[in-house]
A and B are shown apart, each in its own frame.
Chain A
Amino acid sequence: MLKINNLNVFYGGIHALKGINIDVEEGKIISLIGANGAGKTTTLGTIMGLVKPSEGTIYYEGEPIINRRTKDIVKKGIVLAPEGRRIFPNLTVEENLILGAYVRENKEAIKKDMQWVYSLFPRLKERMWQKGGTMSGGEQQMLAVGRALMTKPKILMLDEPSLGLAPLIVKDIFEIIKQIHKEGVTILLIEQNAKAALQIADYGYVLETGKVVLEGKGMELLNNEEVQKAYLGEAQ
Chain B
Amino acid sequence: MKERKNIKKLLNIGAICFAIVLLYIFNQVFNSFQMRIFNLCGIYVILALSLNLINGFVGLFSLGHAGFMAVGAYTCALLTMSPDMKAMNFFLEPIAPWLENINLPFGSALIVSGLMAAIAGALIGAPVLRLKDDYLAIATLGFGEIIRVIFTNTQSITNGSLGLKGLAKIGWFNASSESIWWIWGIVILTIVFMVRLIGSSYGRAFKAIREDEIAAEAMGINLFKHKMMAFVIGAFLAGIGGALLGHLIGTIDPLMFRFLLTFNIVLIVVLGGTGSITGSVISAVIVTVAMEALRVLDGNIEIGGYMIQGIPGMRMVVFSLLLMIVILYYQRGLMGTNEFSWDILIKRFKPSKH
Q: Which of B166-213 contact A (CB under 8 A)?
A: 201, 204-205, 207-208, 210-212
Binds B, one of A10-18, A24-32, A95-103, A212-220: A95-103
Q: B162 interface residue, CB < 8 Å from A?
A: no
A99 B204 Cβ-Cβ under 8 A: yes
- Residues 35-93 (chain B) with a chain A CB within 8 angstroms: none
A165 within 8 A of B: no
Contact B207 A75 (CB under 8 A): no
Sample of 14 further A-B pairs with CB below 8 A, known A73-B220, A88-B211, A100-B219: A50-B217, A71-B221, A79-B218, A86-B214, A88-B215, A89-B211, A89-B212, A95-B207, A98-B204, A99-B204, A99-B205, A99-B216, A99-B219, A99-B221
> CB-CB < 8 A to B215: which residues of A?
82, 86-88
Contacts known (A103-B219, A147-B219); A86 close to B212, Cβ less than 8 A: yes
**A71 vs B275: C-alpha distance when bound (angstroms):** 26
Instruction: Say yes or no: is B337 at the interface (Cβ < 8 Å to chain A).
Output: yes
Contact across chains for B218 and A82 when beta carbons are under 8 A apart: yes
Inside 8 A of A48's CB, which chain B residues have their CB?
A: 218
Partner of A91, one of B201, B211, B222: B211
Find the B residue at minimum CB distance from A83: B214
Q: Shortest distance in angstroms between A141's beta carbon and chain B's nearest beta carbon?
A: 13
Contact with B along A56-94 (1 / 0, CB 8 A): 000000000000011101110001111000111111000
Q: How far is the CA of A69 from the CA of B215 in the complex (A)?
A: 15
- Interface residues in chain B, defined as those with a beta carbon under 8 Å from any beta carbon in chain A: 201, 204-205, 207-208, 210-212, 214-222, 275, 337
- B residues less than 8 Å from A87 (CB atoms): 212, 215
Q: A151 at the A/B interface (Cβ < 8 Å)?
A: yes
Which residues of B have CB within 8 Å of A89?
211-212
Give complex CA distance A136, B208 in Å: 20
Q: Are B208 and A88 in contact (CB under 8 A)?
A: yes
**Nearest Cβ on chain A to B241's Cβ, whole angstroms:** 27
In this complex, how many residues of chain A approach chain B with their Cβ under 8 Å: the count is 26
Report A36 CB to chain B, min CB distance, Å: 18
| Closest CB pairs A-B (n = 3) | A74-B220, A88-B211, A86-B215
CA distance A70 to B216 in the complex (A): 11
**Contact present for B211 and A90 (CB under 8 Å):** yes
Question: CB distance B217 to A102 under 8 Å?
Answer: no
In the complex, are the beta carbons of A71 and B220 less than 8 A apart? yes
Q: List the A side residues contacting B337 at CB < 8 Å.
A: 90
A99 touches B208 (CB 8 A): yes
Docked complex Cα distance between A71 and B212 (Å):
16
Chain B hits for A99, CB < 8 A: 204-205, 208, 216, 219, 221
Asked whether B222 lies within 8 Å of A71 as measured between CB atoms, the reply is yes
Closest chain A residue, CB of each to CB of B215: A86
Q: Cβ of B214: which chain A residues have Cβ within 8 Å of it?
A: 50, 82, 86
Chain A residues, Cβ within 8 Å of B210: 90
Q: Could you say which of B207, B219, B222 has the most chain A C-beta atoms within 10 Å of its C-beta?
A: B219
How distant is the Cα of A147 from the Cα of B287 in the complex, in angstroms? 40
Chain B residues near A91 (CB-CB < 8 A): 204, 207-208, 211
Closest A residue by C-beta to B201 = A102
Q: Whole-angstrom distance between the alpha carbons of A169 and B201 in the complex?
A: 33
Among residues of A, the one whose C-beta sits closest to the C-beta of B225 is A71
Complex alpha-carbon distance, A99 and B205, angstroms: 7
Task: Check if A74 sits within 8 Å of B219, measured CB to CB.
Answer: yes
When the two chains form their complex, are residues B217 and A69 in contact, meaning their CB atoms are under 8 A apart?
no
Q: How far is the CA of A186 from the CA of B216 in the complex (A)?
A: 22
Nearest CB on A from B242, distance (A) = 31
- Sample 8 A-B pairs with CB under 8 A, ordered by A number: A70-B222, A71-B220, A74-B220, A87-B212, A87-B215, A88-B211, A99-B208, A99-B216
Task: Give min CB distance, A206 to chain B, whole Å.
Answer: 25
B212 touches A88 (CB 8 A): yes
